Amino acid sequence: MLYYLHFLSGYGTGAETEIFKGLNVFQYITFRSLAAGVTAFILCLIFGNRVIRRLVSLKLGQPIRTQEEVNRLHELHGAKAGTPTMGGTLLLGAVIVSTLLWARPTNPLVWLCLFTVFFLGGLGFVDDYLKVTKKSSDGISSRLKFALQCLLAAVLTGYFLFDVCVQGQPWTAYVPFAKDPVINLPVVFPFVVPFLLAFIFYLFVIAGASNAVNLTDGLDGLAAGCTATVAFGFAVLTYTAGNGKIATYLQIPYVSLSGELAVVCMALVGASLGFLWWNCHPARVFMGDTGSLAIGGLLGVIAISCKQELLLALIGGVFVLEASSVILQVASFKSTGKRIFKMSPIHHHFELSGWKESTVIVRFWILSIIFALLGLATLKLR
């Protein structure tokens, strides 16, 4: 909404006034992105205590798995029982408010991101609520959760295919280091084949990212810290993809509307850092599925919007490691009866190997920064 203040400056109309001249900065994505990050951070600081007190008064404490379920890990995390969960409402609320304030409201990709946040945030909220009320680590069934993620992927697929169809463009998919798309599929009616291919691809990106962040959210501040670095990486990517000159110079896909998503990304960066203020070890509040499912899905949609889906796997390398460790652990145990790790996700393996929780968290943050830098480095390696 604040974007429209730049009209008061009269910039480019020949009617500039000294009083409102400074409002010209509101038209620039860079200014609004930084402002969105600062706004989201301040919102989390201001409302953090109130949200935590409210969650405590509602007795929405995080259920901790029993000693029979996790053995020694219960000794390490037993003291966290009763810490309020659903703190993702604070983080997501800051992202939504900041985005509505600073993003250009006529951009459909911005609303697509907000829709994803509401949809997956609502799903995570119900999941957390069921866990708290049942005092169990079991919430919504995995089948229902996946079915709803499929529904979201179908909606997004329909939007993106309709968009390229209206513009008379083919549906494309890119890989890092390649200048040209690896898939360049014409979208013509009836577009059953393009829809199925795009649906499977987008489902993999959205559900994969959503569940990966959810699995990472197991230690104080781990998911929030990694989210900040990944979101910052995509703030750079969306801005460059939305700027024709920069995109051409870097030889990356040019998506005219994606530049505005830098505002959303920086709002997520600010909200993650603000939430980390309350979530750092020892945490006063947990993100819960309310935050983690929505964050992962949002990152997936942003990656799709700027046509850098596969680069998400590199920039979000920590999330990939966490999800891969679970997949490998389950596959190994079912096929051989043996476990690769002492416990999965892999952050618990290091805990049970003798690393302190704070050590695991900081080292994973360092890895996340390195992965983000490596991802951005690919921009000049094409």
> Is 42 a domain residue?
yes
Q: For residue 50, is pLDDT > 80?
A: yes
Burial class for 316, CB neighbours closer than 10 Å (0-12, 13-18, 19+): buried
- Identify the band that residue 165 occupies on the pLDDT scale cut at 50, 70 and 90: confident
Distances (CA, A) of 54 to 31, 89, 292, 359: 34, 12, 20, 31
Q: Is the dihedral of CA 62, 124, 210, 292 positive or negative?
A: negative
DSSP state of 175: -
Q: Is the pLDDT of residue 78 over 50?
A: yes
183 pLDDT more than 70? yes
Dihedral (CA of 288, 207, 255, 188) sign: negative
Q: Tell me what pLDDT residue 70 has.
A: 55
Tens-digit pLDDT profile for residues 280-337: 988 899 999 999 999 999 999 999 999 999 999 999 999 999 999 999 999 999 999 8
Range of the domain at 110: 30-310
pLDDT score at 64: 59
DSSP letters for 353-380: TT--HHHHHHHHHHHHHHHHHHHHHGGG
In a domain, 249, yes or no: yes
| pLDDT band at residue 66 under the 50/70/90 scheme | low
Any domain includes 82: yes
| Half-sphere exposure at residue 380, Cβ-oriented, CA atoms within 13 angstroms | 4
Residue type, 240: T
Q: Is there a domain that residue 41 lies in? A: yes
pLDDT of residue 72: 64
Q: Is the pLDDT of residue 73 over 50?
A: yes
**Residue 322 counted as domain residue:** no
Rounded to whole angstroms, what are the CA distances from 352 to 144, 193, 213, 323, 329?
Answer: 32, 47, 21, 18, 15
pLDDT at 249 over 50: yes
Q: What is the mean pLDDT of residues 32-39?
A: 97
For 312-328, what is each residue's pLDDT tens digit? 999 999 999 999 999 99
Averaged pLDDT, 208-219: 94
The DSSP call for residue 171 is E
What is the per-residue pLDDT for 69? 47
* Residue 264 placed within a domain: yes
Per-residue pLDDT of 87-104, as tens digits, reads 999 999 999 999 999 999
The alpha carbons of the chain give a radius of gyration, in whole angstroms, of 21
**Does 153 have pLDDT greater than 70?**
yes
| Number of Cβ atoms within 10 Å of the Cβ of 284 | 17
pLDDT score for 364: 97
The residue that leads in pLDDT, 254 or 74, is 254
Q: Among 110, 115, 57, which residue's Cα sits nearest to residue 86?
A: 57
Count of alpha carbons within 13 Å of 141, Cβ hemisphere only?
Answer: 3
pLDDT band at 18 (very low <50, low <70, confident <90, very high): low
For residue 12, name the pLDDT band (cuts at 50, 70, 90): low
The predicted-structure confidence for 195-207, as pLDDT tens digits, reads as follows: 888 899 999 999 9
Please count the structural domains in the chain.
1
| Residue 338 domain-assigned (yes or no) | no
**pLDDT > 60? residue 237:** yes
Query: Which is higher by pLDDT, 179 or 129?
Result: 129
pLDDT over 60 (residue 273):
yes
What's the pLDDT at 326?
95
Query: Is 110 a residue whose pLDDT tops 90?
Result: yes
Q: In the predicted model, is pLDDT for residue 164 greater than 50?
A: yes
Q: Evaluate whether 224 touches 287 at the Cβ level (below 8 Å).
A: yes
> Would residue 1 count as lying in a domain?
no
Average pLDDT, the chain: 88
CB 121 within 8 A of CB 104: no
